[in-house]
């Protein structure tokens, strides 16, 4: 049986193979959506994503989006999830229901920017296997 360390190293090698290369359908997520606390944070995250894509640190052919929370009272992860789903529906109509979507909640008042770490999930999101997903470091 594969150990957690071995699985992590295998997934990291696989992710490294995908960096800067176009990915086929089902090889990675179709959409990566990141939440932001406000429009200022949205802009900062979009700049970081652009830079990561320019440096070929992320898979290509994936739709990357940043969705800010609505102005006013902060709505938490549940509200951010609902707002993100509405944004996806506005962008893609019913087609988004067939997408493999990674939603990263990162819209806090921590102004350090996005720091992505690998976290393991037992959901078969990546090629039918368990996967280590990128999550915002706290």
CB 137 within 8 Å of CB 110: no
Alpha carbon distance 108, 113 (integer Å): 10
Express each pLDDT in 12-24 by its tens digit.
898 899 999 999 8
Alpha carbon distance 66, 85 (integer Å): 12
CB 106 within 8 Å of CB 35: yes
Q: State the pLDDT confidence band at 123, using cuts at 50, 70 and 90.
A: very low
Q: State the pLDDT confidence band at 71, using cuts at 50, 70 and 90.
A: confident
Residue 108: predicted pLDDT: 55
């Amino acid at each position: 049986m594969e150990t957690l360390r071995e699985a992590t190293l295998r997934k990291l090698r696989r992710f490294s193979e995908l960096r800067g290369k176009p990915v086929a359908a089902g090889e990675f997520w179709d959409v990566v959506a990141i939440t932001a606390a406000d429009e200022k944070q949205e802009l900062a995250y979009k700049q970081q994503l652009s830079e990561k894509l320019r440096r070929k640190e992320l898979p290509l052919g994936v739709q990357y989006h940043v969705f800010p929370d609505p102005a006013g009272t902060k709505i938490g992860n549940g509200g951010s999830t609902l707002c993100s789903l509405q944004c996806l529906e506005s962008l893609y109509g019913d087609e988004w229901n067939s997408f493999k979507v990674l939603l990263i909640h990162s819209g806090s008042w921590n102004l350090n920017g996005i720091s992505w770490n690998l976290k393991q999930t037992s959901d078969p999101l990546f090629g039918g296997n368990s996967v280590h997903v990128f999550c915002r470091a706290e």
